[in-house]
Amino acid sequence: MGTAKFILAGAAAVTVLASSAFADDMTGMVTGINRLNNTISIQQTQKGTVGGSAGGAGALQQYKAKDAAMLDAVHAGDRVTYAATNTDGSGTLTKLQKQ
């Protein structure tokens, strides 16, 4: 019984951490845009800390744009600031701004 509680607590912690990652503005580089499907692929950049490696690459994520017009201002290779929500296991881009 104790092991099951430990596993459930760990799963809950991962869920909370994953959902909070989508809450803040993130930075990354656009790696691809599919304007027909209104999707964008962004390579998230790691936020640096003192003594940390600030230039490292993060996970590649694909998002569905909330509004197709959001994708008009960016191209592959652009650095962007963005925000997204996670609904039903897929990310939806709610904010996109070219840096």
Q: List the domain boundaries for the chain.
A: 25-98
How confident is the model over 34-71, as pLDDT tens digits? 999 999 999 998 766 555 554 556 788 999 998 999 99
Residue type, 89: G
This prediction has a pTM of 0.66
The pLDDT score that the predictor gives to residue 16 is 45
Residue 80 has pLDDT above 80, yes or no: yes
**Nearest in space to 60 (alpha carbons), one of 89, 31, 35:** 31
**Res 29 pLDDT > 80:** yes
The pLDDT of residue 28 is 95
Strand partners, 73: none
Tens-digit pLDDT profile for residues 12-26: 545 544 544 445 789
Out of 3.40.190.80, 2.40.50.140, 3.40.228.10, 1.20.200.10, the CATH code matching 25-98 is: 2.40.50.140
